[in-house]
Amino acid sequence: MILVELYPWEYEWVLHVGARRFIENWGKADARHYDKKRMEDDRTAQAAACAGELAVAKLTNQYWGGHVWPGNRHEEFKGMADVGHNIEVRRVRTSSNAAVRRKQLGQGLILFVVRPVAPEFRTVEILGWIDHDEAWEKGEPSGYDSEGTRVISEEYLNSPMVYAEVYTDEGEERVPV
């Protein structure tokens, strides 16, 4: 696990993007498998998710666009990675078991698991990473969407620093975290 601290301007930006995502979801129905009793409010969840995405971008020295789009354009952008061109970020809140989606299989994705530190989300714990398809194979069916979602335990994740060693060219300048 690695801690990534956000600078004040980064923190401001993740809150802005989180608010925009929250606004774009106004009036949108939750997925059938969502359990409102286990969830936090969407405004908080969106801000935390954005903090996690930006922290992974800093760690990996890859682009985070802070993308937001209207719900009626979801089909157009649904294949866009959270970070860079192939990194998906899953935020965990109450455990270290992260969701792995069947619909994202075969896309060459890397899954990073993060835990933004509540209540402010200015610090993000990056728990590790794993190839998305490998995570699906090692994961267990979820209790809420057993056909479409599996959960992967933290024990299967690679160290965040191993990602830097495997995927960063030697001598490439990296952003300090």
Q: What pTM, to 2 d.p., does this model score?
A: 0.87
Q: What pLDDT does 33 receive? A: 59
Where does the pLDDT of residue 172 fall: very low under 50, low under 70, confident under 90, or very high at 90 and above?
Answer: very low
Compare 177 and 141 and report the one with higher pLDDT.
141
Of 110, 13, 117, 24, residue with least CA distance to 65: 13
How many separate domains does the chain show? 1
Compare 6 and 38 and report the one with higher pLDDT.
6
Compare 4 and 177 and report the one with higher pLDDT.
4
Q: Does residue 70 belong to any structural domain of this protein?
A: yes
Q: Does residue 172 belong to any structural domain of this protein?
A: no
Helices of type H across the chain: 8-24, 42-60, 74-77, 132-138, 160-167
What range does the domain containing 70 cover? 2-167
User: Above 70 in pLDDT, residue 90?
Assistant: yes
Q: Does residue 177 belong to any structural domain of this protein?
A: no
Q: Does residue 108 belong to any structural domain of this protein?
A: yes
Q: Does residue 175 belong to any structural domain of this protein?
A: no
Q: Does residue 35 belong to any structural domain of this protein?
A: yes
